[in-house]
Chain A
Amino acid sequence: MTFWRQFNTLMWVEARRSWVWAVALVGSLLFWAWGMNQVDLVDSAEQLGVRAIILVVACGIGAIVLCLMVGRIRSETRHGQYQVLLLTPPSGYVHVAARFLFAGITAIIYYVIVGGLAWWAIAQAHLQLDAGSVAQLVIACPLYGVAVGMIPVLAWTILLMVFISSYRIAGPGWIPGTVMILATPFLGRWIVEGIWRVSYRLPGWRLFEGLRTAIDTAAWEAEVEGFQGVFALPQEPLWIMLALSALMLAVAGRIWQEVEG
């Protein structure tokens, strides 16, 4: 009971301190939707391609904003709110979980709406997807993308900020920060290569089985060649990234327990 009361309170604190970020982020999708609506090309396939690029940009910017939202430990450290949180009874794991969960929920809402925009763009290109494909596009793909891409990035950001702040009192907080930031691309490459090697050992999840038919029915001017109409998402990246994220959050929670304020 005490745990849930404390966890709920920390979630409420997260919501209060970050709601402007979350609302601005989700609201920014109106801008991207407006931008997509401005794309007016004769060829439906080309129009869909340009709109897809806009959505990819929206995904990237969303990821950056989410990282900035959870990574504001430095500013809280300067103004003392971090000290207030360090003094509270819940363990570091609970603090980290609350911070991560709020950002994770925001990410899911954001990327599900992006999935909805993708559906709208596809419908505008005269592709009629079946109900299963729509659900896969709007729900399954965003959730998979958040789990494989966004959740590990958020976990890494939280770990990075907690790690830097753990050296703040001693002075050289910038040294571990620099080391971790410099190590990020190498670590990322190593993880991606590792995942690539083990992917598809388990059966993949087949998606958009009606898409080839929809493309043929739409009779686009530009021919989509070489596309057989079926995607298969590998399971392995999902499980590996979720496990890695859990590990990073556990380490961040443990470090939080020792941070000086």
Chain B
Amino acid sequence: MLARLSDVTKRYLRSEGLRSVTLDFPAGEVVGVLGLNGSGKSTMLKILAGLLVPSEGTATVFGGAPRRNRARVVYLGETDALWAWMTPADAERFMVGLYGDFDVVRFNDLLDSLEVPRRKTKAMSKGERGRLRLAMALARNARLYLLDEPLAGIDLLSREKILTSIVKEWHTDETILLSTHEVAEAEALFDRVVFLRDGHLALDACAEELRSGGRSVVDVFREVLS
């Protein structure tokens, strides 16, 4: 088991991000983490990344505390968080210096395939910055990838490039947790879908079983979350 949430609740000052959620994430699946705004998707991914600590329950990644295993987990946050001075070459230096599993050749291939311009991020569009951040994330040889809304606010062509890259770079021993609102575009990727509503786990289902039952993930999304 790569990651596990056991009865996890996360409370903020005036709200709850996650409520008694229990989930296991074995190796080798692409999991769609779906829900409306404020449903707890980002909270769940941040807990697995070690950025948040559960208020109750336990989260484990690779059998230990997520924070202690952060070198082995890839987390792509929803925030457009790169420094304005950073170029793709700077990003490469940053990642090579800090992450032992960063693959420079793969990174440059991703930059080419995602058509990331070689200039400072402050001179890039939001889509270009999003593609650079994805290239930084996918160029690592990790086994657990937590991608929080990598498609948000990005144009259609960039979204297609990002989804193509995720499919291309995925290996069978890796698990990807992908949260997105672009359910229709991403649903072909998913082996499994986890629906969250108001911090609760609303549904945890195999995507293939849903499809064989004649329903798309989008249909189920509407049914479960409406």
B105 within 8 A of A: no
The complex places the Cα of A109 from the Cα of B75 at a distance, in Å, of 38
The complex places the Cα of A86 from the Cα of B14 at a distance, in Å, of 24
Which residues on the B side are within 8 Å of A88 (C-beta)?
Answer: 70, 98-99
Given A5, A81, A87, A257, which contacts B75 in the complex, CB threshold below 8 Å? A87
Smallest distance from the beta carbon of A18 to chain B beta carbons, Å?
11
Which residues on the A side are within 8 Å of B212 (C-beta)?
Answer: none
Which residues on the B side are within 8 Å of A12 (C-beta)?
Answer: 93, 97
A199 within 8 A of B: no
Interface-lining segment among B79-87, B173-181, B197-205: B79-87
Given A8, A16, A17, A89, which contacts B70 in the complex, CB threshold below 8 Å? A89
Task: Say yes or no: A80 contacts B77, CB within 8 Å.
Answer: yes
A residues 126-143 with Cβ under 8 Å of B? none
Interface-lining segment among B22-30, B46-54, B154-162: B46-54
Which residues on the A side are within 8 Å of B81 (C-beta)?
Answer: 79-81, 83-84
Chain B residue with Cβ nearest A260: B52
Do A171 and B13 form a contact, CB below 8 Å, given A16-B90, A81-B81, A89-B98?
yes
Main secondary structure on chain A at its contact with chain B? helix
Task: Say yes or no: A79 contacts B53, CB within 8 Å.
Answer: no
Interchain residue pairs with CB less than 8 A apart (20) = A5-B97, A6-B98, A12-B97, A16-B83, A17-B83, A79-B81, A84-B77, A84-B81, A84-B82, A87-B50, A87-B75, A88-B70, A89-B98, A89-B100, A90-B98, A169-B52, A171-B14, A257-B67, A258-B53, A260-B51
The complex places the Cα of A205 from the Cα of B37 at a distance, in Å, of 65
Task: Say yes or no: A9 contacts B13, CB within 8 Å.
Answer: no
Task: Say yes or no: B97 contacts A16, CB within 8 Å.
Answer: no
Task: Say yes or no: A170 contacts B98, CB within 8 Å.
Answer: no
Smallest distance from the beta carbon of A36 to chain B beta carbons, Å?
34
Which residues on the A side are within 8 Å of B71 (C-beta)?
Answer: 89
Given B13, B93, B94, B97, which contacts A172 in the complex, CB threshold below 8 Å? B13
Which residues on the A side are within 8 Å of B14 (C-beta)?
Answer: 171
- Of the four ranges (under 10, 10 to 19, 20 to 34, 35 or more), the interface on chain A belongs to 20 to 34
A176 within 8 A of B: no
The complex places the Cα of A86 from the Cα of B53 at a distance, in Å, of 13
The complex places the Cα of A257 from the Cα of B93 at a distance, in Å, of 24
Task: Say yes or no: A17 contacts B85, CB within 8 Å.
Answer: yes
Chain A residue with Cβ nearest B99: A89
B residues 69-116 with Cβ under 8 Å of A? 70-71, 75, 77, 79-83, 85-86, 90, 93-94, 96-100
Given A10, A16, A83, A260, which contacts B53 in the complex, CB threshold below 8 Å? A260
Chain A residue with Cβ nearest B77: A83
Given B13, B52, B79, which contacts A80 in the complex, CB threshold below 8 Å? B79
The complex places the Cα of A261 from the Cα of B46 at a distance, in Å, of 8
Task: Say yes or no: B98 contacts A9, CB within 8 Å.
Answer: yes
Chain A residue with Cβ nearest B67: A257
Which residues on the A side are within 8 Å of B67 (C-beta)?
Answer: 257
Chain B residue with Cβ nearest A84: B81
Smallest distance from the beta carbon of A20 to chain B beta carbons, Å?
9
Do A83 and B83 form a contact, CB below 8 Å, given A5-B97, A12-B97, A16-B90?
no
The complex places the Cα of A63 from the Cα of B83 at a distance, in Å, of 25
Chain A residue with Cβ nearest B69: A89
A2 within 8 A of B: yes
Which residues on the A side are within 8 Å of B98 (C-beta)?
Answer: 6, 9-10, 88-90
Which residues on the B side are within 8 Å of A13 (C-beta)?
Answer: 83, 94
Given A6, A80, A87, A170, which contacts B97 in the complex, CB threshold below 8 Å? A6
The complex places the Cα of A70 from the Cα of B171 at a distance, in Å, of 41
Known contacts A80-B79, A257-B67; can you find 13 more A-B pairs with CB under 8 A? A6-B98, A9-B96, A9-B97, A12-B93, A16-B86, A81-B81, A86-B51, A87-B70, A87-B75, A89-B99, A89-B100, A260-B53, A261-B51
Task: Say yes or no: B83 contacts A170, CB within 8 Å.
Answer: no
